[in-house]
A and B are shown apart, each in its own frame.
Chain A
Amino acid sequence: MQLNFNTQYLFPGQQDDEEIMLVVREHWMVFFLRFVAWLLFAAILPLIDWAVAHYAPGLKLAPYVDWLNLFRTLYLMFLMLGLLIIWVIYYLNVQIVTNLRVVDIVQHSLLSHVVSELHLSRVEDVTAEVNGLFGTFLDYGNVYVQTAGERERFTFARVPNPAAIEKLILDLYENLPEDQKMRKEESTK
């Protein structure tokens, strides 16, 4: 396994003179909601203990208690694995905005890692969207980047402060050299 401790490079293909403007991942509330779902599964263990104590106290005696302990330990191991996977998938989903491009790194599952890049000159339209109770109060939502490329729309899903990200991408597009913008206009004709 190759471990690269140089954190200067965040994604494959990053150029030496490329300036990282923003690194963002899903809002912490997204992870928290998944964590709450995990807690519901974790709550099954004390519930089983309570049910055994009240309705089947005989299970606390040998030989049943050994089976119960084995089941409890195995369940706990699967719970820990589940928590690790939830966190890893949350942590590995990253969106990066540089002065040259937008990079969307998506980890759908442990075996599905997708890196998509979009040059700022191909940006056509940027939309920020805030939905729902949590999104409105905690200010997180989706940012859609419309492109002229094959992949028509980039989505930054449930990122914090979507309006600021939208403005950043539009500002970076405005700061592009005129010849690059011209090329885009030509390509849309």
Chain B
Amino acid sequence: MQIINVIFYLVMAMLVLYSLLALYSLLRFGRSKILGIVVSLLYLIIMAGLYAAAVANLDAIKF
């Protein structure tokens, strides 16, 4: 269980890192900041929902 948790959170850390890179590039270099913020918020909402579902699925696994 411990190993599965570690792997899960390592995968999450990688996802967060790449997401932050993409959002930073969008907000830093994008021409329309408003579009960048709207897309970023939409993405964060979707990913937060998926993260909650993933954690719930992880907790549901019984060893």
List the interface of chain A (C-beta within 8 A of B): 1, 3-5, 7, 10, 23, 62-63, 66-67, 69-70, 73-74, 76-78, 80-81, 84-85, 87-88, 91-92, 94, 105, 107, 110-111, 113
Closest CB in chain A relative to B27 CB, distance in Å: 6
A residues near B62, Cβ cutoff 8 Å: 62-63, 66
A73 near B50 (CB under 8 angstroms)? yes
A66 near B61 (CB under 8 angstroms)? yes
Quick one: given A69-B60, A110-B22, are A77 and B31 in contact (CB under 8 Å)?
no
**A-B contact list, 13 entries, CB within 8 Å:** A7-B33, A23-B31, A63-B62, A66-B60, A66-B61, A73-B53, A74-B11, A77-B47, A78-B15, A84-B23, A91-B30, A94-B31, A110-B18
B46 near A80 (CB under 8 angstroms)? yes
Report the separation of the CA atoms of residues A5 and B39 in the bound assembly, to the nearest whole angstrom.
16
Q: Which of B19, B53, B57 has the most CB of A within 10 A?
A: B57
Residue of A81, A85, A92 near B29 (CB, 8 A) is A92
B60 near A77 (CB under 8 angstroms)? no
Residue of B21, B33, B43, B47 near A3 (CB, 8 A) is B33
Residue of B11, B24, B28, B43 near A80 (CB, 8 A) is B43
Nearest residue, chain B, Cβ from A72: B57
List the interface of chain B (C-beta within 8 A of A): 11, 15, 18-19, 21-34, 39, 43, 46-47, 50-51, 53-54, 57-58, 60-62
Residue of A1, A66, A94 near B27 (CB, 8 A) is A1
A73 near B57 (CB under 8 angstroms)? yes
B residues near A107, Cβ cutoff 8 Å: 25, 29
Residue of B21, B29, B31, B57 near A66 (CB, 8 A) is B57
Closest CB in chain A relative to B35 CB, distance in Å: 8
B43 near A110 (CB under 8 angstroms)? no
Report the separation of the CA atoms of residues A61 and B34 in the bound assembly, to the nearest whole angstrom.
46
A residues near B29, Cβ cutoff 8 Å: 92, 105, 107, 113
B24 near A1 (CB under 8 angstroms)? yes
Report the separation of the CA atoms of residues A5 and B43 in the bound assembly, to the nearest whole angstrom.
21
B residues near A110, Cβ cutoff 8 Å: 18, 21-22, 25
B60 near A92 (CB under 8 angstroms)? no
